[in-house]
Chains A and B, each alone.
Chain A
Amino acid sequence: MKTIGEINERIQKGEAVVVTAEEIIELRKTVSPKKLAKEVDVVTTGTFGPMCSSGVFLNFGHSRRKIKMGGGKVYLNNVPAYTGIAAVDVYVGATAMPDDDPKNTKHPGEFKYGGGYVIEELAAGKEIHLEASSYGTDCYPNKSLKTKITIKDINEATLYNPRNCYQNYNVAVNLSDKTIYTYMGVLKPRMGNANYSSAGQLSPLFKDPYLQTIGFGTRIFLGGGIGYVGWWGTQYNPSVKRQANGAPVSGGATLALIGDLKQMSPKFLQGVSLTGYGTSLMVGAGIPIPILNEEILNWVSISDDELYAPVVDYSYDYPNSTGKTLGSVSYGELRSGKINFMGKEIPTGSLSSYKTAREIAGILKQWIKDGKFLLTAPVFHFPGPDSKYQFKPLKEE
């Protein structure tokens, strides 16, 4: 019905009709899908939640007397970086923490600082302590170095997140008799609370369940700047069971995202600590969905009341990979503040910020309306449900 080329032409002329995922849901209540599919060009989405599989590649440039940090040790504000690459390239992951962090020796540990915070502070332009040590070679004689850097001083700072934007996610509860501390937050005993982590109707991959418009090279909002979809995400699972409307009943697809940290803002990349678990990074991402036809229009119009998340016990079933889910609840119920589940009224909390997800969808909409952001067709499409691509557990001896 429409092509991305035609939509981009309209964007450049300032004529494109762009609405957010929340707005299309409202419009869909009174306007026919046929009419909307014709009139609306782009629907924007957004999400802002803790995404542990995130990190940044840095290139520091060479010191006068050169040092081979590669294979040595590098610390940024005491947080160790991965050095198993070239001389002055490192990768700082969101969950890295200082060697002397007490971790869970006194359970639950606080995890006051880690890689997620280093990334936030880099994005904020703050000064970071860099400490490197190595073994010395003929070409890289220096064995140790201490200095301070900011993101402006170094060459590249490339955010590369192997797994973001989970299509759907678990609702975590605790069936045991004691409080547990998980990556899904603090869970009170006997289902005292239920935590979820998805922007639901605003979340990018719920709106394009078969990834028809999102693929390698898709231009997106990432951390406040422009980024790209850099591969399918790890733990990608297109063969997941689906609801009648196409939405996966659990996890499903994921995306690897890439972008220039120098363009990004700490408002959309925030270091966080999960008590008893570790540090992470809140990542803000938003993906535009081109409304190429009525089918896509119908997908983007699916609301929280029609999207369901599986409820999983994190005291036994999750840690022991039993695969058991206790049932499912809609995002509409989750967002209402309480769910009625297994005969109990349970208060809910979200790890992902709906307010910021909404803000991101709004910013992306504005960028497109202003003609600053053009849409891209995927360079190639990721494996679909027919590909037999599967998410496998680890084989143990």
Chain B
Amino acid sequence: MEKKLVLHFPPILVDKPMISTLIRDYDLDFNILKAFVSPEEEGVLVIAFSGTEENLDKAVNELKSKGVTIQLIESDIRMIRDRCTDCSVCVGLCPVGALILDRETYEVIFDAKRCIACGLCIKGCPAKAMVSSI
């Protein structure tokens, strides 16, 4: 299975090679979707891990025990339904089909599970209906 997570590393942990140890110990594959240092000097990694469910859980627990804060990615990119005009300009921008135009109702639907948090829709949405807490 795959898990997409946002990892917040406190400043003291930023330089530690934690991820490489983790993937070796728990036999995981990973794909870094976004990495940056926040204004509070936290290291932020948006990452997709894949491996067995058991090992993924163990890996998450280990990260937590070392002081890394973890968020599931779905909670980071949100659609503010009230602001969305269903224009669909984000639909052509989204690289993974996480924004979908229902061709019956012409409503635009955000499928958080597919989102890789690339941020394109945030810049592209005229109504500023796509927001992120990253």
Contacts and interface: CB of A to CB of B under 8 A. Distances in A.
Interface of A: 48-50, 108, 112, 181, 185-186, 188, 193-195, 270, 272-275, 280, 282, 335-337, 346-356, 358
A309 to B, nearest CB: 15
Interface stretch (B24-32, B35-43, B44-52, B98-106): B98-106
6 contacts: A193-B93, A282-B126, A346-B92, A349-B124, A351-B89, A355-B107
Contact of A349 (B85, B93, B107): B93
Interface residues of B, number: 21
Given A48-B85, A193-B93, A355 B123 contact: no
Contacts of A48: 85
Given A194-B92, A337-B101, A50 B126 contact: yes
B18 interface: no
B106 to A, nearest CB: 4
B92 A108 contact: no
Contacts of A112: 128
Given A337-B101, A354-B106, A355-B86, A193 B92 contact: yes
Interface string B113-125: 0000000100110
- Which of A112, A193, A336: most chain B CB closer than 10 A? A193
A48 B89 CA distance: 13
A351 B126 contact: yes
A348 B92 contact: yes
A355 B105 contact: yes
Contacts, number: 77
A94 to B, nearest CB: 12
Contact of A272 (B93, B106, B123, B126): B126
Nearest to A186: B124
3 cross-chain pairs, A with B, having the tightest CB-CB distances, nearest first:
A349-B92, A193-B92, A272-B126
Nearest to A282: B85
Contacts of B89: 185, 195, 349-351
B108 to A, nearest CB: 8
Contacts of B90: 349
Contacts of A188: 93
A353 B91 contact: no
A312 to B, nearest CB: 16
A339 B123 CA distance: 23
Given A349-B91, A349-B92, A354-B106, A185 B86 contact: no
B87 interface: yes
B127 interface: yes
Given A193-B92, A193-B93, A349-B92, A356 B126 contact: no
A23 to B, nearest CB: 15
Contacts of B91: 337, 347-349
Contacts of A335: 103
A236 to B, nearest CB: 25
A347 B127 contact: no
